[in-house]
Amino acid sequence: MPGARKPQSKRAPARTLSVYRDEYRSMIELLKEIRLESGLKQEDVAAKLEVQQTFVSKIEIMDRRVDLIELRDLCAVYGVPLAEFVTRLETRLKT
């Protein structure tokens, strides 16, 4: 019908995707620091996870998003319980 108005959408305000937030960057930086503290190279981590080295590299350069299960796996390889990782991240985010 000419001149009829479309109903307005009730969308929620746009949020920044987590991968673009400072908190995500801090999480990835901490993950890399813990890997280095553990004395592991990307190749070592990849071998333990049975993935290619580029999997680890892409996470660390933020070309690939890491999910919670992958984060748990990475923490296990680094010898750091997931709960400890989260505590360290929260401490970092508060500063």
* Structural tokens at position 81: 């319980």
Of residues 21, 14, 13, 12, the one with CA closest to residue 65: 21
Q: What is the pLDDT of residue 5?
A: 63
Of residues 29, 87, 55, the one with CA closest to residue 45: 55
Of residues 49, 47, 87, 91, the one with CA closest to residue 66: 49
pTM over 0.85: no
Q: Would you give per-residue pLDDT tens digits along the chain (95 residues)?
A: 556 665 555 654 457 777 678 999 999 999 999 999 999 999 999 999 999 999 999 999 999 999 999 999 999 999 999 999 999 999 999 98
